[in-house]
Amino acid sequence: MSGVVNRRRNIFINSEQYHQSNGDVNLIFPGADFAVDKNEIMRLSLESFTMAHRFYNININNNTFYIRNKATTSFSKCVITPGDYRTATFKTALISAIDTGFGAAGVTVIAGDSTRIFTINMSAVSGWTADHDFVCFQVPPGRAGTNPDTTKITPTGAFNDSCEVLGSIPTKDFNNIVPAFSETSKVFTSVYPFTLQPLEAIHLVTNLQTHSYQTPDFLEDSEASSLVPSPIFAKIPIIHPSFEMREEGREFS
């Protein structure tokens, strides 16, 4: 009898409504229609999920990286302007972020559309020395280690997915800062293919009892390895993250 469905209810939820002050959605189910008899259990499953793509692929969560001066142990913050980019426009935005962050022009960027590997040439940048390199921080809040520059390395910049966008090696511990790119004579090369659509899935989180478990990295504590109870009710993959700009507007392809 465990596989028999006695009653079924379809629920259509518009999450733009019913917001609490903190932005959460609170729903009250009518008791008469959502009740079980003896020896019955209630099951809740997600049939479909639709959400407009009203956020930029490159955003505050993945657009911040740093230039480090190893001689002075100082950092310059580089921020890529949020937006949706193709390779050509991303190169321009990356150059602008480096020029603004370091305070000197002259950087050139070469990116391959097929290889998705780029090089950053800093040899013509005034003031750039062998002591300078790039760093992408991915340090979870609460991890042991001392922030070397709290004025520049903000919490948003300290835990950032810029390494995925730039194809770089992340620094996951302030006590062990590693260069983001490989370097040859002031020319920096991405280690992995860069991506302009880094978001893989949308996670739907509820306060329901899910009987699910997760690795702790979803809770920004990737140092631990034990499974923990999960509030994730569903994981919705983004199947078509790329986009095309059309005269009539933006459409996913």
Which tens digit of pLDDT belongs to each residue from 20-29?
Answer: 777 787 788 8
Query: Count of CB atoms within 10 A of residue 159's CB?
Result: 17
Q: Does residue 185 carry a pLDDT above 50?
A: yes
SS3 label, residue 111: strand
217 secondary structure, DSSP code: G
What is the C-alpha to C-alpha distance for residues 229 and 211, in angstroms, rounded to an integer? 7
Q: What is the pTM of this model?
A: 0.78
Strands of the chain (E only): list them: 64-69, 74-79, 108-111, 118-121, 132-137, 170-171, 182-184, 187-189, 201-205, 213-214, 228-229, 232-237, 243-246, 249-252
Give yes or no for residue 1 having a pLDDT over 50: no
- Those residues whose C-beta lies under 8 Å from the C-beta of residue 97, and which sit 6 or more positions away, are 63, 65, 78, 79, 80, 81
Task: Name the residue with higher pLDDT: 38 or 250.
Answer: 38
pLDDT at position 250 over 50 = no
141 vs 134, which has greater pLDDT? 134
Q: Tell me the pLDDT band of 145, cut-offs 50, 70 and 90.
A: confident
Residue 58: which pLDDT band, with cuts at 50, 70 and 90? very high
- Confidence band (pLDDT; 50, 70, 90) for 143? confident
As a whole number of angstroms, the distance between CA 137 and CA 148 comes to 12
What gap in Å lies between CA 153 and CA 113, rounded to an integer? 31
The one-letter code for the residue type at 221 is D
Instruction: List, in sequence order, every beta strand (DSSP E) within 73-123.
Output: 74-79, 108-111, 118-121
Q: Residue 216: what are its φ and ψ, rounded to 5°?
A: -65, -10
pLDDT surpassing 50 at residue 235: yes
Residue 223 C-beta-side C-alpha neighbours within 13 Å: 12
- For residue 27 the two structure tokens come to 């729903």
**Is 179 within 8 Å of 187 (Cβ atoms)?**
no
Residue type, 78: C
Summary mean pLDDT of the chain: 86
Whole-number Å distance between alpha carbons of 86 and 244: 9
Whole-number pLDDT of residue 78: 98
Instruction: Answer yes or no: are the C-beta atoms of 145 and 177 closer than 8 Å.
Output: no
Residues 6+ apart with CB under 8 A from 158: 137, 139, 141, 147, 174
